[in-house]
Amino acid sequence: MHWLILGIAVFTEICWALSLKWAATAATWQASAVPIILSFVNMGLLALAMRGIPAGTAYAVWTGLGAVGVIIGGMIFFGDKVSGVQAAFMALIVIGVVGTKLFAQG
Q: Spell out the domain ranges in the chain.
A: 2-102
Report the distance separating Cα 93 and Cα 34, nearest Å: 28
Given this model, what pLDDT does residue 103 score? 85
Contacts of 74 (CB under 8 A, 6+ apart): 18, 21, 80
CB 33, CB 59: distance < 8 Å: no
Size of the chain, expressed as the number of residues it contains: 106
Contacts of 104 (CB under 8 A, 6+ apart): 53, 54, 57
CB 5, CB 61: distance < 8 Å: no
Given this model, what pLDDT does residue 102 score? 86
Per-residue pLDDT in tens (0 to 9) along the chain, 106 residues: 999 999 999 999 999 999 999 998 888 889 899 999 999 999 999 999 999 999 999 999 999 999 999 999 999 999 999 999 999 999 999 999 999 888 877 5
Given this model, what pLDDT does residue 106 score? 54
